[in-house]
């Protein structure tokens, strides 16, 4: 793998992670799907993986990269802080300006009656998945295969329960099984786009490395706080969701140390 360019690695790694969404949604094609409590636990697991990846695979390397370039002191920490806030702010802006619909709370963003309901769902999931692909791409662009593999593995693991959650929600809206699975599978394919952009920017402009790593972390942290955790606590299964989060967090920490 070392002979491949970081940009190609970023694309392939984020593509593999995105395809895990389709794999996670497969149970909807074969009859019974997990109940709400199990789905909340799996989404909690996804949040834990993303939370761990944000800090151990993105924020800490961003601080290390900033210190290596600018030396010890307040400047590397300030860069990381600003970049995290920029990442969170961009996803918040997308969440505010793009018309989309959440599975529980309903439509958000500008009114857009001409958009079909299915596309509102897809836009919401795109807002969710793009930062994940961006993070994987930044990881590969920053440090090649070794830097991106833990992130791609972790994001792929958390994409599986997300894919199942999306497909089940669409089933609840009356979509046929194959169509629900197909839409869930397609939502993961926005991640290679994010991966390509993340790897390309970091590879071409090395001084942006600490900015890019922390920016991707901020985008992921917004998704965790605004989308995943509230979803897992809506139905009274917060204890199971928190257990899932703990397992996802420590598993991703282990993978990051082992594979990194």
pLDDT in tens, 99-144: 555 544 555 555 444 334 445 545 556 666 777 788 888 888 877 7
| Number of helices (H), then strands (E), in the chain | 10, 2
Neighbour-count burial of 228, counting CB atoms closer than 10 A to its CB (0-12 exposed, 13-18 middle, 19+ buried): buried
Token representation of residue 194? 């994010």
Q: Give the list of residues 6+ apart from residue 87 with CB closer than 8 angstroms, or none.
A: 131, 214, 215, 216, 217, 218, 219, 220, 221, 222
| CA 16/CA 31 separation, integer angstroms | 26
Q: Supply the Cα-derived Rg of the chain in whole angstroms.
A: 18
Instruction: Render the burial of 69-97: b for 16+ CB within 10 Å, e for the rest.
Output: eeeeeeebeebbeebbeebbebbeebbee
Query: Three-class SS of residue 260?
Result: coil
- Alpha carbon of 12 to those of 17, 189, 249: distances in Å? 9, 11, 24
| pTM, to two decimals | 0.70
Q: What is the pLDDT of residue 128?
A: 62
Q: What is the pLDDT of residue 242?
A: 93
Please give the share of the chain, as a percent, with pLDDT higher than 90. Answer: 13
Please answer whether residues 241 and 41 qualify as being in contact, where contact means their C-beta atoms are separated by less than 8 angstroms. Answer: yes
Mean pLDDT, rounded, for 138-160: 80
pLDDT tens-place string over residues 185-239? 888 888 898 888 888 887 777 777 788 888 888 888 887 888 778 878 888 888 9
pLDDT tens-place string over residues 67-81? 988 888 899 999 999
Q: What is the pLDDT of residue 146?
A: 76
Angle formed at CA 211 by CA 206 and CA 214, multiple of 5 degrees: 130
Q: What is the pLDDT of residue 114?
A: 36
| CA 205/CA 203 separation, integer angstroms | 6
- The single-letter DSSP state of residue 108 is E
């Amino acid at each position: 793998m070392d002979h491949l360019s970081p940009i190609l690695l970023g694309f392939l790694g984020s593509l593999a992670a995105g395809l895990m969404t389709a794999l996670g949604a497969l149970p909807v094609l074969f009859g019974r799907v997990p109940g709400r409590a199990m789905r909340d636990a799996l989404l909690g697991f996804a949040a834990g993986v993303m939370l761990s990846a944000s800090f151990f695979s993105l924020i800490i390397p961003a601080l290390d990269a900033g210190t290596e370039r600018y030396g010890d002191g307040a400047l590397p920490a300030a860069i990381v802080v600003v970049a995290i806030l920029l990442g969170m702010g961009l996803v918040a802006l997308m969440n505010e300006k793009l018309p989309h619909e959440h599975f529980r709370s309903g439509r958000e963003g500008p009114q857009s009656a001409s958009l079909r309901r299915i596309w509102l769902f897809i836009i919401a999931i795109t807002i969710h998945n793009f930062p994940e692909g961006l993070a994987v791409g930044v990881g590969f662009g920053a440090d090649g295969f070794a830097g991106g593999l833990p992130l791609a593995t972790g994001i792929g693991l958390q994409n599986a329960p997300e894919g199942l959650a999306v497909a089940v929600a669409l089933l609840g809206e009356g979509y046929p099984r194959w169509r629900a699975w197909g839409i869930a599978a397609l939502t993961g394919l926005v991640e290679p786009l994010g991966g390509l952009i993340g790897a390309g920017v970091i590879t071409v402009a090395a001084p942006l490395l600490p900015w890019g790593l922390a920016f991707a972390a901020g985008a992921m942290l917004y998704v965790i706080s605004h989308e995943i955790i509230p979803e897992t606590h809506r139905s009274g299964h917060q204890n199971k969701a928190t257990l899932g989060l703990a397992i996802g967090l420590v598993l991703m920490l282990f993978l990051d140390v082992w594979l990194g």
